[in-house]
Structure 1
Amino acid sequence: MAVFVLVSGPFTGGWVWQEVAARLREAGSEAYGVTLSGMGEGGGVSTAASSGPAADVDLETHIEDVVGVIDGIAPGEEVVLVGHDYGIHPALGAADRRPERCARVVYLDAGMPADGDAALALVPDPSVAERAGAEGAGGSVPAPVGEEWGRWGSTAGLSAEDLARLDRLASPQPLRTLTQPLRLAGSPFDRPTTGVLCTADGAGISMVEMLVVSGPPQFRVLADPRVGFFELDTGHWPMLSAPGPLAEILLLAAADQGQRLTVPECAPPADTGTFLLDVPARPRERRGAVDLYLPEAEGPRPAVLFVHGGPVSPDQRPTPRDWPTFSGYGGHVAGLGAVGATLDHRLYGPDAYPTAAEDVAAAVELVRADPRVDGDRIALWFLSAGGLLAADWLATPPPWLRCVALNYPMLAPPPSWGAVPGRFRPVDAVGASSPPVVLTRAGLEHPVLQRTVDDFLMAAEKTGAEVDLVDVPHARHGFETLDHTEETREAVDRAVRAVLARLRG
């Protein structure tokens, strides 16, 4: 039977695993809930440095804690490392240092850190980053209390007693554990891997499938046959809200069970393939991070700026403005007499929306300042998770913004994206003063994203906002690359002409 080493997320220690560990032992496995250095005492395997001051504890300290537990397990035993939330960072670090001992890593409602990534990038509370800048990553982050736990992940399934237990036993998190980059010699996916997704926290297997098919290249590794997935219908702390089902899943994961993902041959990634319309080549000018597609027309013309989603990797090549979807839209709009504009913005993670918003604003000013553009007739077109960037423009639209278009958009951040600042919620921003909206809805959308669209449409109806809905019943997220059908071609043509009509009206 496997030996489970259970590494908890921020503010918690080995005590949080007590019920899960007991069930694993009842099934015949060994299980160790690790209390990492500086994270208090009680209920788990305490490490030698657990009483050290928080200022002396960093991610490397926690990695050595986990390595120490592994080294204490009898040789030949199959070690399964389970990392919850932040705990995946020390778990991956330990697996990298003891690759011969680690049979599997389980990501429990956790991100996908790579070499050089710090956990701070996924911290949902922006004040933590401010503290890190002010204190030079010294000190610690106070543990949440009461309703504050909901800012760190969905509390669905937790009873009042569970929340009281979190309040009573939680410890401050040493700040350097969040700011120190993870250093790995190999790939995190050099070994069998399991993802356990807590669906009440926003992500499920269908969303992962969407990322594998149409998202950034770093997600394609998740279609490796050594990677399996499970879902738990609960919130971010399943070891408290669903200890029995979680233990069953961990046993299945150790037995190499779990749903495998496949990438259909007919589903090229977003940065390859072709646009669904046959768009003749148009003149294109590159102006910094912005590309302009110019029409064959005299005088200043209205312009449409297309805004990609993400997050994307800063090292991704080609960059989004060179993807077929965006070069296709830019050229198509230019062929119809308007200026098409695309840009690369820095949406590198859920915490990067403010930076991406600055990039979009700068791109708008560059486009409006071009003498070939009528600066009083501008439309902004947001796709996928770029939809969150529409919130500012919907809430306080300038007079020259004639239309906002949205394709298969995310219109409120999922709970697991807690690092997104609160202002990026189009469902709260839309209102009677918003510019007209052209919303293209994919019928085969991921349920999490579809709920945000439904909420947006309800808010628009309640507030009297103008929305032109373009339905594509048989289309998937990213249909411009994935679904080349008469239905999708007609939907694109209808949406483009609806936007241009508002620019010319």
Structure 2
Amino acid sequence: MTVFVLVSGLFTGPHVWQETAARLTAAGCEVRAVPLGGLGRIDGLDGLDGLDGLDGLDGKVSDPGAVTDLESHISDVVAVIDSVGGARGEEIVLVGHDYGIHPVLGAADRRARSVARIVYLDSGMPQDGVPALAAVPDQLLREQVMLLAAEAGKGAAAELPPPSREEWRLWGSVAGVPDEALDRLTALAEPQPLGTLLQPLRLTGAVTSVPFAGVLCTGSGSSIALVQARVDFGEPAFQALADPRVTFFELSTGHWPMLSSPAELVRTLLDAAAGRGHRLTPANAAGPPAHLRPFPLDVPEAPVERIGRVDLHLPSGDRPRPAVVLVHGGPVPAEARPTPREWPILTGYARYAAGRGMVGVTLDHRLHDVTDYGRAAADVVDAVERVRADPRVDADRIALWFFSGSGPLTASWLAAPPSWLRCLAANYPIMAPLPAWGRLGSAFHPAEAIAHAGDLPVVLVRAGLEVAEIAATVEEFLDAAKEHGANIEVVDVPDGHHTFETVDPTDATREAVRRAVRTVLGHLTA
């Protein structure tokens, strides 16, 4: 028999698993929903079908005077594993949602021989020595936790208050969650003990022997394709994800699939327990990854001069020329080699521009994490200043061309376009923070900034087969652009995916690239 041990995330307890537990039980599985210390309230659960009588809901509640931290939550999960024991041949599958993956990994590390599989349910990838707070994407929330921790040192309560109904979205997408379920989630939410967020996770390495599955909720902005891209970048922490014992699943819902899609979640958990699912491809095993495949057009090389983080692809001739500054997307791990300014997509556009008599510019900026947008924005400003100061560049004729995850960086240029900025372009951009990113701050919301763009020409190259969550940010931006009468032209690639230049090297792609380049360069020479 498969025994599912379900561990919930921040502010929550066993109640979130009500329908999931009932469906798993009906499928012939045993279920233990773990009440974590300080969060395991069972009052208010009377009459919840599928939870009544479940082992693990035996009234276990922490001593109100006890200190609750990550280690105590790990002990809670270990106790449930030990209570199952495996004497009857049970296969224990640990499921950690959100924060719950931290105590799950800690417990599996201590009981690796007793655990058949771990399921990461729309969670991060905790590492040894890193506290759970590091997985909170929203910088303002992290700062709030640190402030509360400082106050707790002066005698204040050492806990983080639960979100209001409207604040849940800051902790993960609530897409698909019915109103009544969101109401109950709010009513039963409890303060999160700060020690559970601040105490580092300690792992011996034993947990690496346990197979695992990742369940990605696309409404949060996650996808198998994005995880594969991280593997392809060569990021060390992601290479283990291409192990054949690791599988992945996608659910088309938000961060709370047990509330929004319980039937689909149960089918996925049963498949995960059986070892089914999508397996990633090791880096370079199937040829070059998407970001290193050839540019779709045959463009001649141009002389290249490197200045700091900037590469200038130079046309022939001595007089100052307009410049196209190409801004790569991300986040891109700092260890990625080659670095983005050498990727074929960007060097292809740069050479194309040089062949048309313009200076093509590629650069590296430090967008290594979603928390790095401020630093990346400063890097782009510095790169543009270097380019404009070069005597081979016409400082009054500059175009900025953004790609993918650099979309939020367009906001500051749209909000106050300088006179020398003759065109702003964006290919398959992410034009708003994805749900799992948290708040980026007012400086990175292009849909708000477009109201101040004036007559600045904006060229947006849209992939028809874009990821739904990214496409939604583009449509939000275009709606705002229409409302404010912005000077915008859309180049559509109906059958194109994200990074269509290398993923879909078709005649339609080549024509879209030519049209986009003609449009951007036309604004530089007008």
Instruction: Give the TM interval when normalised to the shorter protein.
Output: 0.7 to 0.9
Q: Give the alignment of 1:27-66 within 5 angstroms.
A: 27-42=27-42, 50-51=62-63, 57-66=68-77
* Deviates most, 282-291 or 259-268: 259-268
Q: Does 479-488 or 139-148 show the bigger shift?
A: 479-488
Match for 1:491 among 512, 516, 521? 512
**Mapped partners of 1:216, 1:155: distance in 2:** 30
Partner of residue 410 from structure 2, selected from 383, 386, 390 = 390
Of 269, 275, 287, the match for 2:295: 275
Aligned residues: 504
Identity of counterpart residues, as a percentage? 57
Displacement, 1:182? 4.3
Q: Check the 8 A contact 1:5/1:34 in 2, yes or no.
A: yes
In structure 2, distance between residues paired with 1:118 and 1:402: 46
Q: After alignment, is 4-13 or 69-78 more displaced?
A: 69-78
After the TM superposition, which residues 231-270 of structure 1 pair with which residues of structure 2 at under 5 Å, given as runs?
231-259=250-278, 268-270=288-290
**Aligned-residue CA RMSD (Å):** 3.3
User: 1:245-267 CA distances to partner (integer Å, 9 max, x unpaired)?
Assistant: 43343223222334556699887
Q: 1:451-466, aligned counterparts within 5 Å?
A: 451-466=472-487
What's the CA shift string for 1:378-430, capped at 9, x where partnerless? 21111112112212211222222111111111122332333433542323322
Greater mean deviation of Cα atoms: 97-106 or 257-266: 257-266
Residues 174 and 350 (structure 1 numbering): CA distance in 2 closer, same or farther, change over 3 Å? farther
CA-CA distance at 1:283 after TM superposition:
2.8
C-alpha separation in 2, matches of 1:58 and 1:184: 16
- Looking at structure 1, the residues matched to 352 and 252 of structure 2 have their Cα atoms a distance apart, in angstroms, of 43
Cα distance in 2 for partners of 1:185, 1:322 equals 39
Counterpart in 2 of 1:78?
Answer: 91
Q: 1:323 aligns with which of 337, 340, 343?
A: 343
Cα contact 2:446–2:477 (8 A) shared by 1: yes
Write out per-residue CA displacement over residues 342-388 of structure 1, whole angstroms, 9 at most, x where no aligned residue: 22222222232222222222222222233332322221111112112
Is the 1:395–1:434 Cα contact (8 Å) retained in structure 2? no
The reply to whether residue 443 of structure 1 matches residue 437 of structure 2 is no
Matches within 5 A, 1:158-197: 158-184=177-203, 186=205, 191-197=210-216
Correspondence list, 1:329-478, <5 A: 329-431=349-451, 433=454, 435-478=456-499
Using the size of structure 1 for normalisation, the TM-score is 0.87
Is the partner of 1:11 in helix, strand or coil? coil
Q: Secondary structure at the match of 2:366?
A: coil
Counterpart of 1:194 in structure 2: which amino acid? A
User: Is the contact made by 2:40 and 2:61 (CA closer than 8 Å) also made in structure 1?
Assistant: no
User: 1 CA distance for matches of 2:106 and 2:262?
Assistant: 26
Give the Cα–Cα distance (whole angstroms) in 1 for the partners of residues 250 and 307 of structure 2. Answer: 45
Match of 1:293 among 290, 306, 313: 313
CA distance in 2, matches of 1:361, 1:46: 59
The 1:367–1:441 alpha-carbon spacing in structure 2 relative to 1, beyond 3 Å, is same
Listed one character per residue, the Cα deviations across residues 222-281 of structure 1 (whole Å, up to 9, x for unaligned) are 565544444444432232344444334322322233455669988731443322233333
Assess, with a 3 A threshold, how the Cα gap between structure 1 residues 140 and 491 changes in structure 2: closer, same or farther: same
Gap change, CA 1:108 and 1:47, over 3 Å in 2: farther
Equivalent position SS for 1:100: helix
The separation in 1 between residues aligned to 2:175 and 2:294, in whole angstroms, is 42
Moved more, 37-46 or 88-97: 37-46
Change (3 A) 1:269 1:88: same
Partner of 1:130: 143
Structure 2: give runs of 5+ residues left out of the alignment: 46-55, 153-157
Q: Does 1:311 align with 2:331?
A: yes
Residues 289 and 97 (structure 1 numbering): CA distance in 2 closer, same or farther, change over 3 Å? farther
Q: Distance in 1 between matches of 2:274 and 2:506?
A: 42
SS of equivalent to 2:509? helix
Unaligned runs of 5+ in 1: none
Pairing 1:500–2:513 present: no
- Paired residue secondary structure (2:437): coil
Alpha-carbon separation, structure 2, partners of 1:438 and 1:225: 42
Kept in 2, the 8 Å contact 1:266–1:482? The answer is no
Q: Distance in 1 between matches of 2:264 and 2:445?
A: 33
Distance 2:289 2:35 in 1: 41
State the distance in 2 between where 1:121 and 1:350 align: 12
TM-score (norm 2): 0.84
Give the partner amino acid of 1:101. Answer: S
Decide which structure has the larger Cα Rg and report it. Answer: 2
Partner Cα separation in structure 2 for residue 83 and residue 422 of structure 1: 33
SS in 2 for 1:471: strand
Q: Contact 1:36 / 1:46 at 8 angstroms: preserved in 2?
A: no
* C-alpha distance in structure 2 between counterparts of 1:201 and 1:393, whole Å: 27
Q: Distance in 2 between matches of 1:374 and 1:4?
A: 65
Q: Is the 8 A contact 2:34 2:40 kept in 1?
A: no
Residues 46-101 of structure 1, C-alpha deviation per residue, up to 9 Å, x if partnerless? 898944679x5444443343334323321343111111112223323333443322
